[in-house]
Amino acid sequence: MSASSPNPHDRPSGTTHFGFRDVPTGDKQKLVGQVFSSVASKYDLMNDLMSLGVHRVWKRYFVATAQVKRGDRVLDLAGGTGDIALLLRDRVLRQAQDARDQGCIVLGDINGAMLRVGRDRMTDMGKVGGFEYVQMNAEKLPFPDASFDLVTIAFGLRNVTDKDAALREMQRVLKVGGQARVLEFSQVKADWFKPIYDFHSFNVLPKLGKLFAGDADSYQYLAESIRKHPPQEELKSMMQAAGFARCDYKNLSGGIVAIHTGYKV
């Protein structure tokens, strides 16, 4: 954690972090919703600008190394504009006389504006089959136990108010033997790179947000939320506490992001 990042555990009772601000726990969901409603139409463009396009490589690797096969049922949480769901589609869908055997990807997001962007994008691309779109809260998933073969969440867990609850829900809806995968910004490992990364996050990103999306504040929040997210070992421990087995992680790009995995046994 950089010197500019307050300790996430040093905050008053009954509050949680919204970026570097302490806010009442009940207010975070609404505040995060306002951020993503604001950036929804420019989200893919801003991801390219924020990561110089590297987020596309991270996502491809995330999907390519997932434990999934044709005919599986997959839940993609915080699915937003559909990047992960689209990459999963060719690995999951198959031609089948019985639609139940075809495979399915449930694209879920708590934010209706983001979900509409994803649905419209798939429709425009002609990718209409095999997807379900559900507006949902990751902390209280509207599915029975053991509903999915794979559960993914990419760049969304850090925005969840109660991350432990979301991880428990991911574990609950997985089938025995199923895999959960979390792709998220994490803690940079190289000391020499940390000041460069901080400068990009807190000086460049808000300016890009203002220039291309007309919204500097939302991108300031996004940069702050990355610093408040649990680092690699802490998130691994959280997944173990949620009931996952064989938990592990892999750093990408020197720890700028990490892929965490866990299994239901």
Could you please report the per-residue DSSP string of the chain? --TTSPPTT-S-TTEEEETTEEEEHHHHHHHHHHHHHHHGGGHHHHHHHHHTTHHHHHHHHHHHTS---TT-EEEEET-TTSHHHHHHHHHH----SSGGGS-EEEEEES-HHHHHHHHHHHHHTT--TTEEEEE-BTTB-SS-TT-EEEEEEES-GGG-S-HHHHHHHHHHHEEEEEEEEEEEE-----TTTHHHHHHIIIIIHHHHIIIIIS-HHHHHHHHHHHHHS--HHHHHHHHHHTT-EEEEEEEEGGGTEEEEEEE--
- Is 137 part of any known ligand binding site? yes
- Is 138 part of any known ligand binding site? yes
- Is 81 part of any known ligand binding site? yes
Binding positions are: 81, 109, 137-138
Binding positions for S-adenosyl-L-methionine are: 81, 109, 137-138
